[in-house]
Structure 1
Amino acid sequence: MADEILNLISDLPAAGLHAFFFFAALLENIFPPWPGDTFIVFAGFLSAHGAVSLPAALLSTGTGSLAGAWIMYLAGEKVLHLARSLHARLKPGIMQRMLSDFVSEEHMQRTQQWFLKWGAWFVVVSRFSAGIRFFVSIVAGLSKMNPLLFTVCFSLGVLIWNTLLLTGGRLLAENWRKMLEWLQLYNVAVGSLIVLVVAFFIMRWWRRRSA
């Protein structure tokens, strides 16, 4: 799919390319399977040939990423209400017990306290993993993280990550797809680590519930 899209946009003028990069970066934050990082690396490659400028590519991809993150931040504010509505309709069982922990005031207070202490760093680092960047914006909105702080932290993460991708695509030029191979290995490693961490916390939660 990505290759077909790249073929379609290759002949666009600079303004059209930047519009595409904006919406591609936005969509990645809403729909994680979308290959947003691929298009950012491609933008770096195009900058090596003068089709776009590197600063403009950083601006279009960065603002797109931030816009997508804000959509999910606002959606996060609605998640708790939906979860509580679902909890009220469920019959007693495992799913209801899991939601009971999630929607409880005690859980929300712990989440807000944790985000107050570590949330800023978590938002910055989240940009470096396709596996968690989607969820972090939701959790930030759910925990009512300061909107200005969220914007600053997410923008910092985007600035660092997108600069790395754009620069990599630019420096590798015709070999820009090597960057995608490295990204794939990186995402597999980070994704595996995330799965292990999540499994650990689920097991710990289950043991506490069973005790």
Structure 2
Amino acid sequence: MENAIIEFAENLVVNNSIGLMIFFFVSQSLQILFPPYPGDMVLILEGYLSSLGNLPVILIIINAICATFLSSILLYHIGKKEKEKILESKLIKWLFNVKIVSNLRTLFSKYGAAAIIISKFIPGVFSITVLCAGIFQVNKKYAYFAILIITTIHHTVLIMLGKVLQENWRTVFLKLNTYNKYVIVLGVLGIIIYGSMYLLRKKLLN
């Protein structure tokens, strides 16, 4: 998928700048609504292509932020309207890791909307966290603010990295993939340890 996206975007930067901006907008929306989509790679690619196509990098950043923010708000309101029954949907189960919902409930009870910010640093959980923010009725104002803040920081950093590194942008993407793998492994180990300690404690109390 990655190679096809890169080839398509490079073709657009030469022939159709408006089409490229639309493609970037759709890409960042897909990252939220269809998490398997490699949105982080596209963000870095956006920075690199901004130099090739003489596109204002600030416009690309704003475009990316708007796409992610609006699609996140949509996801939040779907969760708020449908509540926990949405988690029984086969599509939602296929798209998102619903097994972590109980952990997210604990996270929201402790940190409130800040849990949305925290989730951005854990691969593959931002979208389900935003959905759960709606399900758990997290204050809309705080949820919007958290989404906007972390999206602005995250997107600006990745796009600027792509712009600065130019042809070497792939190096950053490879390092991100490595980071994601380590975080996932550590996360699984953390869940196993936490679960084991919980069961042991429950057994001792009984």
TM-score of the two chains, using structure 1 as the length reference: 0.77
Give the equivalent residue in structure 2 for 1:80.
84
- Of 16, 41, 46, which residue of structure 1 is paired with 2:44? 41
Give the direction of change, closer, same or farther, for the CA distance of 1:203–1:73 in structure 2 (3 Å limit): farther
Residue 123 of structure 2 is aligned to residue 130 of structure 1: yes
2:21 and 2:54 mapped to 1: Cα distance?
A: 10
Q: Once the two structures are superposed, what CA deviation does each residue of 1:175-204 show, in whole Å capped at 9, x if it has no partner? A: 110111111111112222222233344445
2:164 and 2:26 mapped to 1: Cα distance?
A: 24
Q: Is the 8 A contact 2:45 2:162 kept in 1?
A: yes
Give the direction of change, closer, same or farther, for the CA distance of 1:184–1:8 in structure 2 (3 Å limit): same
- SS of structure 1 residue aligned to 2:7: helix
Counterparts of 1:31-180 in structure 2, within 5 Å, are 31-77=34-80, 78-82=82-86, 111=105, 115=108, 117-180=110-173
Q: Is the 8 A contact 1:43 1:52 kept in 2?
A: no
Q: What letter corresponds to residue 68 of structure 1 in structure 2?
A: S
TM-score of the two chains, using structure 2 as the length reference: 0.79
Deviation at 1:157, TM superposition (A): 0.5
1:15 and 1:172 mapped to 2: Cα distance?
A: 24
**Unmatched 5+ stretches in structure 2:** 90-98
2:25 and 2:146 mapped to 1: Cα distance?
A: 19
**Unmatched 5+ stretches in structure 1:** 86-97
2:88 and 2:48 mapped to 1: Cα distance?
A: 47
Give the direction of change, closer, same or farther, for the CA distance of 1:181–1:27 in structure 2 (3 Å limit): same
- Of 191, 196, 201, which residue of structure 1 is paired with 2:189? 196
1:84 and 1:153 mapped to 2: Cα distance?
A: 26
Q: What letter corresponds to residue 41 of structure 1 in structure 2?
A: I
2:155 and 2:60 mapped to 1: Cα distance?
A: 9
Q: Once the two structures are superposed, what CA deviation does each residue of 1:27-66 show, in whole Å capped at 9, x if it has no partner? A: 1112221100111100000122244221111111111111
Give the equivalent residue in structure 2 for 1:7.
7
After superposing on structure 2, the runs of 4+ consecutive aligned residues of structure 1 that deviate more than 6 Å are none
- CA RMSD, aligned part only? 2.8
Q: What letter corresponds to residue 81 of structure 1 in structure 2?
A: K
**In percent, how many aligned pairs have the same letter?**
26
Give the direction of change, closer, same or farther, for the CA distance of 1:49–1:121 in structure 2 (3 Å limit): same
Residue 27 of structure 2 is aligned to residue 24 of structure 1: yes
Q: How many residues align?
A: 189
1:76 and 1:58 mapped to 2: Cα distance?
A: 27
Q: What letter corresponds to residue 32 of structure 1 in structure 2?
A: P
Which one has the largest radius of gyration? 1
